[in-house]
Structure 1
């Protein structure tokens, strides 16, 4: 475990485990790298190197007031990979981390990355645009932002209830909630505005590496029809893998399946 200083002096926390082929994990909103605990266990046993990054504002990383754009997140990821100097990466991003991953691939010319794994990615577009009426109405997203401003603890609990299709234990839900509460309030609000407003469709044209799009068919946060299917159509070497018994949180809904899929893809 270490912290890496990025260009504006912010310390980004990185957990680096194992010695094999590297898989770099980018977490979703408003969680941190620990959300992949049950992926790490399996993949380390399978001989992979697992690198979990806490995006700025979340987990153990610094929490500055300021910029939480996808440009900023992607630049931080590049700084981490530059420091680690790791080749042949499978970049695995969940939800907001998936959008960060697609933007990284475009903004940084796929540096260090040989394969891309998108898990319930919040990409390329979440909310309605003039030429994208299929997106969510902003009125469905804004209560999360307002809740983060006024009662972040309740907002996190309410959002957690949206994540899963299968029943999760009370203890699991409490743990997920605790990850969200580790984030800074300002980062939670600012990054929610980022994923609400972003249009990453141009980035898809720049992604050339083999890509797997893993998506729950019951996802209510990033519906498969407006994210997973569009990513698969827009990225030239992408394949959609449908998770029939998953909502947004496929890492917990179908843990065994996602673990086996990642191991096979990253091999």
Structure 2
């Protein structure tokens, strides 16, 4: 089992955890900005996605978290700012709750709580995976039914999602649908920033950012106006500025 990662820059480390069904390529708009601000930026592909190994099994929450720990340990990182996106926030929360290597936590468009949509998507994934992914990425980048992302970029991301392990794509949904984050959320003690698009059509803010703000003591919530679930891409300037201000503070 091998995990592909990229490691750029110097300074305090920022580790980026992408969400389902994409890869570390999702962070293209963040890496350069954070490196330019003086940070060491590590992004990796979760198992089954991108250029990481594609085993038949192991797409459960505990294994995803262990993979994150393996990347941090292998690179000897300390004082980490851990940044999760969407379902990638789940292992970010669990790891931050139990590791002394994390100093700050950022949760972008968090999909941490179990959602009935996960089971609906899992069924579609088994028989109509590509159309399902196409529909998901429409919702990822839509606000009030209108796309906030150009179609060429969306199709590029669809290609990345379609290339992922079919087994991993489906089993990752099962992990989301059976999540039980309450205990880990209560153990998060590091400064935490939650960033969500106001128009998130995939995980409504009341079920994502607002709910997490109540669950994590002392956390702060930033809502980006007119932004979708995929705000790190569509509203990269505002998203990056919020994170860099958090890091500077």
Please give the alpha-carbon distance, in whole angstroms, between the structure 2 residues aligned to 1:147 and 1:153. Answer: 9
Equivalent residues in 2 for 1:157-168, closer than 5 Å: 157-164=134-141, 165=143, 166-168=147-149
Q: CA deviation at 1:13?
A: 0.9
Asked if the contact 1:214/1:241 (under 8 Å) is kept, the reply is yes
Name the SS for the 1:156 alignment partner.
helix
- Partner of 2:15 in structure 1? 24
Equivalent residues in 2 for 1:118-157, closer than 5 Å: 118-123=107-112, 125-127=113-115, 138=116, 140-157=117-134
- Partner of 1:81 in structure 2? 72
Q: CA deviation at 1:105?
A: 2.1
2:105 to 116, 120, 125: 116
- Partner of 1:230 in structure 2? 211
Equivalent residues in 2 for 1:1-16, closer than 5 Å: 10-16=1-7
User: What are the ranges of 5 or more consecutive residues in structure 2 without an aligned counterpart?
Assistant: none
Please give the alpha-carbon distance, in whole angstroms, between the structure 1 residues aligned to 2:233 and 2:130. Answer: 21
Please give the alpha-carbon distance, in whole angstroms, between the structure 2 residues aligned to 1:24 and 1:181. Answer: 25
Measured on the aligned residues, the alpha-carbon RMSD in Å equals: 1.3
- Partner of 1:90 in structure 2? 81
2:230 to 249, 254, 257: 249
Asked if the contact 1:15/1:51 (under 8 Å) is kept, the reply is yes
- Partner of 2:158 in structure 1? 177
1:187 to 155, 163, 168: 168
Name the SS for the 2:183 alignment partner.
helix
Runs of 4+ off more than 2 Å: 140-143
Asked if the contact 1:228/1:240 (under 8 Å) is kept, the reply is yes
Q: CA deviation at 1:236?
A: 1.2
Equivalent residues in 2 for 1:184-223, closer than 5 Å: 184-223=165-204
Please give the alpha-carbon distance, in whole angstroms, between the structure 2 residues aligned to 1:229 and 1:220. Answer: 15
User: What are the ranges of 5 or more consecutive residues in structure 1 without an aligned counterpart?
Assistant: 1-9, 128-137
Asked if the contact 2:118/2:176 (under 8 Å) is kept, the reply is no
Please give the alpha-carbon distance, in whole angstroms, between the structure 2 residues aligned to 1:68 and 1:122. Answer: 16
TM-score, normalised to structure 1's length? 0.88
Number of residue pairs matched by the alignment:
244
1:62-100 deviations in Å (ceiling 9; x for gaps): 010112111101111111111111111100000011111
Please give the alpha-carbon distance, in whole angstroms, between the structure 1 residues aligned to 2:99 and 2:217. Answer: 14
Name the SS for the 2:5 alignment partner.
strand
Q: CA deviation at 1:167?
A: 2.6
TM-score, normalised to structure 2's length? 0.94
- Partner of 1:134 in structure 2? none
- Partner of 1:58 in structure 2? 49
